[in-house]
Structure 1
Amino acid sequence: MDLGERPWDAVVRECREETGMTAVGPPRLLATVYGQPRAQRPYSTLQLIFDGGRLTDEQIRGLTLDAREHDEARVLPLAEWEALMPARDFARLRAVEDARRTGVAAYVDTWGDA
């Protein structure tokens, strides 16, 4: 977030900058993710993960990635991500998917502990 920026406004800006898409509301919080300080980042972090909805095939094809941030976009079933991600990252993804399915926001406090 930029100084003085509200979380949802940051989501809309970051989504536009990194994918070329404009996020639309209403904002639906899926998870809060806490990160412990560590050597390369000596401060705590707090991430808010919002529901971005389901993208159409056309929207996926129309993604325009910021090369400084991303080099690829993939759409895979949840189970296929497990082999591609570190265990703690997949645990976070699973918690977010559970929150999306159940409507109950998740709290993840293991992000950044490794």
Structure 2
Amino acid sequence: MANIWLPPVEYVATLPRATAYACLYFTDTGGRPFQLRASYRSELWQWPGGNMDPGETPWETALRECHEETGLVFTGQPRLLGTHFVTDRGEEWPANHIGFIFDGGELTDEQIAAVVLDPDEHSEYSVRSLAEWEREMGPREFARLAEIDRARRTGSTVYVEAGAVEE
């Protein structure tokens, strides 16, 4: 293909589509991951977070969604634990999906007890060991959880990629 200059609007129209989400990864003081059960799919466990609104940064999204979904107001600094990439899933989700998972730190028992869920989004929350989560979650979802947990424990950042058959 010849190198033909296109105006930005036309060029962008040729690029793959993508949506983005951001969330906070919390554990309790014992290091056990905290997750929310999705109301719309009872087998799906997820972290406080959601899709970015126009004009938002990933960090702003993570903070807003965490507050909307749990009532928690996170005041820490942004520390990226990982990026999650899901390929286009066809008609189910006709775009790539890119996630930014930030470190939310540790929640005390009092903070966990104060969580208020939006019943339209989540039916319950739970804190479990990785071994317990592995029995509860699908393999792809658990692999993402395990990678993010490892990033938190080691101080590293991870990149997790998932194919078209996801969540």
- Structure 2's unaligned 5+ residue stretches are 1-51
Moved over 2 A (4+): none
Letter in 2 for 1:57: D
2:107 aligns to what SS in structure 1? coil
3-state SS in 2 of match to 1:72: strand
> Normalising to structure 1: TM-score of the pair?
0.96
Partner of 1:51: 103
Deviation of the 1:93 alpha carbon? 0.3
Please report the RMSD computed on the Cα atoms of aligned residues, expressed in angstroms: 0.9
Which protein is richer in strand relative to its size? 2
How many residues were matched structurally?
113
Percent identity between matched residues is: 50
Partner of 1:20: 71
DSSP 3-state at the match of 1:33: strand
- Contact 1:35 1:44 survives alignment (8 Å): yes
* 1:36 pairs with 2:83: no
Distance in 2 (CA, whole Å) between partners of 1:95 and 1:24 is: 24
> Could you list the runs of 5+ residues in structure 1 that have no partner in the other structure?
none
Q: Once the 2 structures are TM-superposed, how far is the Cα of residue 29 of structure 1 from its aligned partner?
A: 0.4
> Could you tell me the TM-score, scaled by structure 2's length?
0.66
Say which SS state the counterpart of residue 106 (structure 2) adopts: coil
Deviations 1:12-61 (A, max 9, x none): 10001000001122111001000111130010010000011100000000
Structure scoring higher RCO (CA < 8 A, sep ≥ 6) equals 1
Higher helix share: 1
